[in-house]
Structure 1
Amino acid sequence: MSQITSSKELLSQALQSRIIPNQEYLLQGSILDSAVDHLIHRLRGLCDTVDASPESFHDLEVCLSLRQPTQTAPLMLRVRRALDRDAPFQLRYIGQPELDRSRPTLVRSSIDVGCTSTILDFLTELGCRLDFEYVSRGYIFRKGRMKITVSKIKPVPGKQQEMGTESVSQSYLVELSVLAPNGQDSIGDEMRVFAEQLKPLVQLEKIDYKRLGADSERTMRTMPQLLVPYAN
């Protein structure tokens, strides 16, 4: 017990010292399949890897929630696994978005940790509910501390035949994000300036999921939530 208490104290001290990157600054948008090559070309010119091919990824993402009696909003967790390489599973906690009108980006709590392949069994035993899953495949670009992903969202293998399609839409999801400790709000201005350079190809915005529908719990999770919901 003392070891657990000590670990909690160390984590608390690290958060207070602003050592751990626990805030995600996020802008999102989409671009049609027919125009994505133009965006890739623009990003290669703007980002750090101008002379190299962009880094590719092919991931399976499982989204879970854990309802807590004392809170109205469920705890949201994600487990990501690379399908194209041997890499550790990644567990991610995502907090409720903070939509401050004075900020140029959406801000939400976010903590990422590496984990073993038994993580899904562990979370299920804890009482987590499988909400939906999807496959994302695309490219990652980096500009300083900013990360830009351009990804095609697809149903998981085995679900494609049920949905009658191999892709969810005729567009790519574009996300501009930065992970940083608390108190670095200047990041939002950097992201806004970079997003302006991608116009008119793509309009990156902070999405207010509460306004997307009446069921705020579902709409606040993320764009790919519309993909493959599990049957209850």
Structure 2
Amino acid sequence: MSYLYRCIAQRPGSVCIALILALASVQGQALELLIRDQHGQPVENAIVTVVGGSQAKAEPQLRIMDQVNRAFLPHVLLINAGDQVEFPNSDNIRHHVYSFSEPKVFEIKLYADRPKAPLSFGTPGVVVLGCNIHDTMLGYIYVSPTPHAAMSDNEGRVSVPVPDGYEGLTVWHEFYALSETEVLEITVAEVQSSPKQDGTAQITIELLPPAPVEQAPPETGFGNSMRR
């Protein structure tokens, strides 16, 4: 636990939030997790990715990032590297979707209905989406390097498949840090040595408050900067 706090303390400009990961059980080859914030509330759209182990590649799939009521739907889309994403526009107005994120820089100029073709996402990382017409539109595509990843539901529950010999987990959430690329790293040993309650391992991580707007680091992603 002290390692985690030192890691967080050295990271400037973090959002004040805590994640409580309850390792409920291991059923077959899946970890059942419960993710809570510092107030004990469930954390939705937290992505847990398994690190290490014997991981097979997944077959490429076609995924959907829709636009409904001037919002991206889903707000966070978890895909595997190699998947394609289609961006239908279900609104009765036109949108102009773009991203400046390093894993996938692109733009789909002003359009209605559906673009001509889906886009391929081959590089792992976080792709932050915006609309050049509607500044409040914000969405995320998390491109996982492995199929051993899963996202928490509205109750904070997540079941992530675990390969043999895995070394740990990473946790990503849009409010974890000002930089969208930041992830929390948790080793298997840290999970095993964390406090237990009714046989359940709990890991609590409290983050530092964000830096003032005028002191935000240059590498701060545009997604979180739009919130402030």
TM-score (norm 2): 0.27
| Structure that is richer in strand per residue | 2
TM-score (norm 1): 0.27
